[in-house]
Structure 1
Amino acid sequence: MSKDVDNKGSIADDASFEDVEPTELSAAYHKPSNVHIIMDSCADFAPGIAEQLGVEVIQFPYVGPDGEHFDDGWKTISAKEFFDSMRRDKKLHYTTSAITPGHYLEVFERAAEVGKPTVYLCFTAALSSSFYAARQAAEMVKENHPDFEIYVVDNGCPSSAAELLGLEAVHQANKGLSAKEIAEWVEDAKNFIHGYFTLETMDALAAGGRIPAAAANIGGKLDVKPELTYDQTGALTVKTVCRGRKKALKALLQDFKDNYSYDGSLPIGIISADAQKDANWLEAQIRKEKGCEGLTIIHSQVGPVIGSHVGPGMIALIFWGTDRREKLSLSDRIANRVRKSK
């Protein structure tokens, strides 16, 4: 919870992520003894969460004007410094790349030497080739360690949606699920995590070549704020387009009201790109909803890898809700069965 949100729901104008109180997880979420869980930095963990979970985090690389860096959770550079650099130079573009099979091989070899059954919840294959590199590395390790049990699972969701998935994967491991069962659990559970986000500007999309610069310029002049989500494969899709930031934030809140499971035992996530005031506003509105007053709300900062594509001011609302497969068309449901049969 943010200290900048008071009991009446008013928001401090100088809200900062540094003022957010760290989330303390219960013992049910602490490191499981029976399964080793690996994730990656694109889960954009809130400070201290990965350590409490006992999750090993593989760092994704990114390249800036001064060379290659690794996403270390804002230890080397602060989120404000990173996003301020993008604000100053709208043409500045940080490039990102996949984790190499060689890097995965090193991580999985270490896990094999320890010998504990391992599950890797990999950043969605819809947005990165890392999943295929990880599967390749896992097969190589199993050739050298035939008794080693390792499962590579496409988490199917970007950023802090994966963080929420990891939280409950650890929880279920502590309740007795085996590594194989955790892998199967993730394949089903990821369909119940919703994520909706909006952008302050489309400059980062234009700088990365994802939309024409002219489109970003026109969108800025018209104050257009896209609201995005992700589909069953983890690919990003545009849900709607709003005129103005406040309408975009209200659209996020409405999606929460429409799809939230209202299970108070499951935390929700609010993630932003140096936009804590808006993150605090969202928290205050959520806590006004019946049954949501005591919710655990985890605030996170989007990391430099995903942050380089969405730019400063991005804000997302992540939560457990209805089964997203129920909204698929008949054709898409058949396509899902085809994918699973491969």
Structure 2
Amino acid sequence: MKYKIIVDSCGELTDKMKSSGCFETASLSIEVGGHHIIDDDTFDQADFLRRVAECEECPKSSCPSPERYMEGYHCDAEHVYAVTLSAELSGSYNSAVLGKNLYHEEYGEKDIYIFNSRSASVGETLIAMKIAECEEAGMSFREVIDTVEAYIASKNTYFVLETLDILKKNGRLKGLKAVVATALNIKPVMGATPEGTIRQISQARGIKKALVKMADEIVNNLKESEQKILAISHCNCRERAEAVKEMLVSKAVFKDVIILDTAGISSMYAADGGIIVVV
């Protein structure tokens, strides 16, 4: 195996990625109501959402340990890459970097690079796919890094959630001045800054209008859409995700479209009914 791509479990893997043998998940974990959940193939979204709804305490997440990343780097692959959720939102990136340092101390030099997605969920998915595309094209390790870093800088992340409570309570909305008037059913359209923090783009009354506004924002910011993959993840709302897809493909042509159900960490933050779009 020439290359290996480790994606922390905030990033969803497609079935094709899982079966390729080139991708590996570094699982985060979740605590909800005294129950410990590993965000891996055993994650039960319906059970998790039920536990969150029944628990007064906010769920908490823990990132993979540096040792977990070090174990992932210890393989036969010549080039190893890690993709983590935004370093502004989680310790996963720093953990992956520490794991690299531990690997070098223990085993010596190796081509290892950690990508800070500056995004989450399907944003990580797209980055992992881009790494594989570059490797399959025969690029050198340095060329892959430069190409993928430029790709990360060109991506945009958007999301509309039914509730921002978990993001708020876990301190992921620091610096946001806008106050969401939940009593008026105001739904903000959110996005990622170039640094990987969360910003509010606009808002609308009701989830349907907010999704329309999000789609308009996406189209207004699109460049060379025919060369891009439209990636949508949803938390327990496939019909809503399909509706967003139809809004977008009716206004722009994309190279491909993927729709994935959120894994554990993304389900925790997106909450029931949340939609994330990355393009």
- The answer to whether the superposition gives a TM-score over 0.5 is yes
Deviations 1:215-246 (A, max 9, x none): xx983321010111111111111112221111
- Matched to 1:161, the amino acid is G
Partner residue in 2 for 1:307: 267
Partner residue in 2 for 1:60: 28
TM-score, length-scaled by structure 1 = 0.73
Q: 2:235 aligns with which of 273, 284, 287?
A: 273
Q: 1:285 aligns with which of 244, 247, 269?
A: 247
- Matched to 2:68, the amino acid is H
Partner residue in 1 for 2:209: 247
Q: 1:128 aligns with which of 90, 101, 126?
A: 90
- Matched to 2:139, the amino acid is L
* Structure index of larger Rg: 1
- Matched to 1:261, the amino acid is K
Distance 1:153 1:169, change over 3 A: same
Distance 1:148 1:77, change over 3 A: closer
- Matched to 1:61, the amino acid is S
Note if 1:234 corresponds to 2:196. Answer: yes
Partner residue in 1 for 2:11: 43
Q: Equivalents in 1 of 2:251, 2:104: separation in Å? A: 49
- Conservation of the 8 A alpha-carbon contact between 1:203 and 1:311: no
Partner residue in 2 for 1:96: 61
RMSD: 2.7
Deviations 1:149-202 (A, max 9, x none): 212222222111111111111111100112232222222210111111011123
Q: Equivalents in 2 of 1:101, 1:151: separation in Å? A: 14
Partner residue in 1 for 2:45: 79
Distance 1:182 1:78, change over 3 A: same
Distance 1:143 1:46, change over 3 A: same
> Within 5 A, what are the aligned runs for 1:154-303?
154-205=116-167, 208=170, 219-289=181-251, 291-292=253-254, 295-303=255-263
| Greater alpha carbon shift after TM alignment, 150-159 vs 46-55 | 46-55
- Conservation of the 8 A alpha-carbon contact between 1:83 and 1:274: no
> Within 5 A, what are the aligned runs for 1:100-115?
100-108=65-73, 110-111=74-75, 114-115=76-77
Identical-pair percentage: 20
Partner residue in 2 for 1:318: 278
SS state at 1:57 partner: strand
- Conservation of the 8 A alpha-carbon contact between 1:121 and 1:155: yes
User: Where does the alignment leave 5 or more consecutive residues of structure 1 unmatched?
Assistant: 1-32, 212-216, 320-342
Q: Equivalents in 2 of 1:218, 1:261: separation in Å? A: 30
Q: Equivalents in 1 of 2:187, 2:112: separation in Å? A: 42
How many pairs are equivalent? Answer: 277
SS state at 2:213 partner: helix
Q: Equivalents in 2 of 1:156, 1:169: separation in Å? A: 16
| Greater alpha carbon shift after TM alignment, 271-280 vs 138-147 | 138-147
- Matched to 1:298, the amino acid is I
User: Where does the alignment leave 5 or more consecutive residues of structure 2 unmatched?
Assistant: 174-178
Distance 1:53 1:104, change over 3 A: closer
- Conservation of the 8 A alpha-carbon contact between 1:79 and 1:301: no
